[in-house]
Structure 1
């Protein structure tokens, strides 16, 4: 029996510097003997957060899986692992799950090392706890992804060095996982400062915002509203605001100056070992596009209906989608994107958020960019408050918060087309403020447009069970047409097959 094959035998920690995010291990270290000061704790915390920018997590595998499982992105590929995600025929052997499941637990293991190691650092709580709180936040961040994707999951809250313990873990009920997530975020909220030098470092605002989202997912409407309202009421203290130009949120050259991101994964000019960089732009980019030294790989492509049903007066459509490209030196509309001649080129508008402004560091096809990917931003807090307010019968608050997001969408701004020509969009009357009674469907639709292609839509579909009535997003009337293999079991993913083979105490989700 080779112990390195067991996911949960996470004895050591790859210590990584997050200041420049170079993933270069300087040692595999157990807590004993390493943690002597707060700098050591911070190093371990940075190692935990760095796992999230890996290609196996947000760099491609998880982010693209979330896109494909939504109702806004179809597949232009015949790769089995992607086909399974897109068509809801996912198996436990799926090659995307087998990558992001262990990477998520590696991030958790590093957080656990930081928390355990902090006990050996003999300094005052006021000095130590604000750093350790980052590890609590990181652990909650990873488990929140796991519990939404898989339901009951093994919950590990301390370093594991015992082989028998590592191979006998069972699944923790999701209610208990959520309780632990909330406890971690509450600790983080208590000890984190109001602001940080970088939005990639968790702050009090990040902890409170995630608490609001966790409570929303659990359908605890009052607590979701209260947490979101706390962030909104203290936006000045937390240095938060809606960015006046929606495009800025996806511009690596200016994003560091934006007040809208609350917690972000910062790709800070990194092209490190083990694929610690992002590939989202090429995965979703136009095949044969002259931009970025070769354009995209035409894998995750919106259907035409995503574009045609989106009001052309909404500036967010122009930012979110590319409907023009320069292919082999010829500027063409989306109806001619197949002139590249590739079998997977589609005559549809493509995702435009990530290929336009990838920053000076971007490599061919806009890999290894300088993007900051917002995991949660101020607009989402406003819409959390709006949705919770609807459920609480507070229509006045729901109108206030949803219309703040719609008002920003009307401000216009500058963005590029696929031909790299910059256009300025004047302020628009679209989308108009909502009046009358706000419904849950109104808020979900606003979230769909505001966060298009940002990895959020699938989580909304799953928590609101939108595959069935009254939303029916995977029926023939849906944006992607009928998804005949979709069933209620598909709201959860299967646990990795190899994990079940190695640990008989783990059980598979229904339907797999």
Structure 2
């Protein structure tokens, strides 16, 4: 089906650029939500004191819930782009048009692409408003810089996702005052966007605290900025710089691997020692819960869902585990403890039952109101990225091998700091061998956390890996260079004609 948008004016996306959407004060920390006074600050007024700026910063964090997946925002989040196109996952849902991501049949009017764009620029606009207005408010330099650091971290995260999804994107770093002004922004070269991301994260690193505690738990930290900057540098193949930055996270000794893999994802153990940054959700009919439990769970019987999650909500199969990933776990061996958390079948499975991930299991109060956070960056990821950066820059080193070996040991339920000749990679490991092992370990360690597709693109492995996967699974689908980016939403191009489309899309 085709649509004629030429004469349709759509205000939502322009409003997102302008920041005209209401800033709703919600929370990244589950303790600093003021339930008795859910303050709402229109962006056109109210920025007159430190409290209004503080509330605006909190609203910027709240926008990350919409960006990473929330039903009330009609956005399914980063897993749509980071997992479904990969060999980890498939979706059986066609009404959501998520199947287009499976099959690489995306059309530029796909609502999931549109909603991600909208939430991206809404997030960026909220950050720009704070950066533009907090300078006039009476604050100490330390307080102002901390607020600026937090929203620059959030803006960098939003732009990093955007540039990996679409490539060249409009780079907006100031508050836009009019609709006419919004139409002046075309696509900025990705290299220039990356420069801004690096600048934002460098400022965040310099001005964020080492740790956040109490009511601030969940806000960005110095380590989160360093870790994200390391990933940004790695994505650009700035290997030596990435290795240096990621080593700083390791040497700080702020984070540690959880002893038990399953504990990383337990809702009773959120913001644990392994988490550098997560998008926080909280259940309780507050409008702040996550939907990942039921989004990812297959549509089993009431008895099955009650046995699985203690409630009878029907799963929606948005992010189902592909048997190819299951086979990879099986090949990893029965001692790999990650398998039990990464996938499972229902109780009393049928011949048509599909696997689902257990990383997001909770008992929701409603189908879209669960406790699960979305982990953006964790320490095991840092260790593996560090090893990759070192390997690409210089070849394997003792420190790089140790970083990988710690992750491997934990996957076998072994003490992470103690060498183990049975599972450790030997000192004779070659660059190519380590490169192959890192691809495998990242797939097994980080499955369903939104990384697999972006990992394959970053390492120039998406086309060969996915085409081999399609051959292996008897699919006629094949991908090429045009499939490495997603389409610019046609609604945006029709609204702002100076935007151009990515190659391969109408």
The answer on whether the counterparts of 1:260 and 1:377 sit within 8 Å (CA) in structure 2 is yes
TM-score by length of 1: 0.85
The answer on whether the counterparts of 1:209 and 1:227 sit within 8 Å (CA) in structure 2 is yes
Q: 473-482 vs 432-441, which deviates more? A: 473-482
1:202 aligns with 2:220: yes
Shift of the 170–255 alpha-carbon distance from structure 1 to 2, 3 Å rule, reads: same
Q: Which residue of 2 aligns with 1:223?
A: 241
SS at match of 1:350: coil
In the TM superposition, what is the alpha-carbon distance from 1:430 to its structure 2 partner?
Answer: 12
Q: Which residue of 2 aligns with 1:403?
A: 405
1:496 aligns with 2:495: no
SS at match of 1:375: strand
The answer on whether the counterparts of 1:68 and 1:300 sit within 8 Å (CA) in structure 2 is yes
The answer on whether the counterparts of 1:390 and 1:440 sit within 8 Å (CA) in structure 2 is yes
In the TM superposition, what is the alpha-carbon distance from 1:199 to its structure 2 partner?
Answer: 5.0
Q: Which residue of 1 aligns with 2:392?
A: 391
Q: Which residue of 1 aligns with 2:197?
A: 181
Q: Which residue of 1 aligns with 2:322?
A: 303
Counterpart of 1:446 (choices 441, 444, 447) is 441
In the TM superposition, what is the alpha-carbon distance from 1:168 to its structure 2 partner?
Answer: 2.5
Give the distance between the partners of 2:422 and 2:169, measured in 1 at CA: 41
Counterpart of 1:122 (choices 120, 123, 138) is 138
In the TM superposition, what is the alpha-carbon distance from 1:217 to its structure 2 partner?
Answer: 0.3
Shift of the 87–249 alpha-carbon distance from structure 1 to 2, 3 Å rule, reads: same
SS at match of 1:473: helix
Counterpart of 1:314 (choices 336, 340, 351) is 336
Q: Which residue of 2 aligns with 1:351?
A: 357
Q: Which residue of 2 aligns with 1:101?
A: 117
Shift of the 377–58 alpha-carbon distance from structure 1 to 2, 3 Å rule, reads: farther
Could you list the runs of 5+ residues in structure 1 that have no partner in the other structure?
327-331, 339-345, 414-428
The answer on whether the counterparts of 1:168 and 1:504 sit within 8 Å (CA) in structure 2 is no
SS at match of 2:244: helix
Shift of the 21–270 alpha-carbon distance from structure 1 to 2, 3 Å rule, reads: farther
1:473 aligns with 2:466: yes
Q: Which residue of 2 aligns with 1:484?
A: 477
Could you list the runs of 5+ residues in structure 2 that have no partner in the other structure?
1-8
Q: Which residue of 2 aligns with 1:378?
A: 379
In the TM superposition, what is the alpha-carbon distance from 1:21 to its structure 2 partner?
Answer: 8.3
In the TM superposition, what is the alpha-carbon distance from 1:55 to its structure 2 partner?
Answer: 7.4
The answer on whether the counterparts of 2:259 and 2:410 sit within 8 Å (CA) in structure 1 is yes
In the TM superposition, what is the alpha-carbon distance from 1:268 to its structure 2 partner?
Answer: 2.4
Counterpart of 2:47 (choices 34, 39, 56) is 34
In the TM superposition, what is the alpha-carbon distance from 1:252 to its structure 2 partner?
Answer: 0.3
Cα deviation code 1:171-194 (max 9, x no counterpart): 011000000000000000010011
1:509 aligns with 2:506: no
The answer on whether the counterparts of 1:41 and 1:132 sit within 8 Å (CA) in structure 2 is no
RMSD in angstroms over aligned alpha carbons?
Answer: 2.6
Give the distance between the partners of 1:2 and 1:79, measured in 2 at CA: 23
Counterpart of 1:280 (choices 270, 284, 292) is 292
Give the distance between the partners of 1:56 and 1:128, measured in 2 at CA: 27
Shift of the 2–216 alpha-carbon distance from structure 1 to 2, 3 Å rule, reads: closer
Q: Which residue of 2 aligns with 1:416?
A: none
The answer on whether the counterparts of 1:475 and 1:483 sit within 8 Å (CA) in structure 2 is no
1:363 aligns with 2:379: no
Q: Which residue of 2 aligns with 1:242?
A: 257
Q: Which residue of 2 aligns with 1:259?
A: 273
Cα deviation code 1:379-433 (max 9, x no counterpart): 11111110011112241222111001111112179xxxxxxxxxxxxxxx99922
SS at match of 1:403: helix
Q: How many residues align?
A: 467
Give the distance between the partners of 1:431 and 1:21, measured in 2 at CA: 52
Cα deviation code 1:10-44 (max 9, x no counterpart): 345414132228795623132x651422x322211
Q: Which residue of 1 aligns with 2:18?
A: 9
In the TM superposition, what is the alpha-carbon distance from 1:160 to its structure 2 partner?
Answer: 0.7
Give the distance between the partners of 1:2 and 1:92, measured in 2 at CA: 16
TM-score by length of 2: 0.86
The answer on whether the counterparts of 1:283 and 1:300 sit within 8 Å (CA) in structure 2 is yes
Shift of the 337–265 alpha-carbon distance from structure 1 to 2, 3 Å rule, reads: farther
SS at match of 1:247: helix
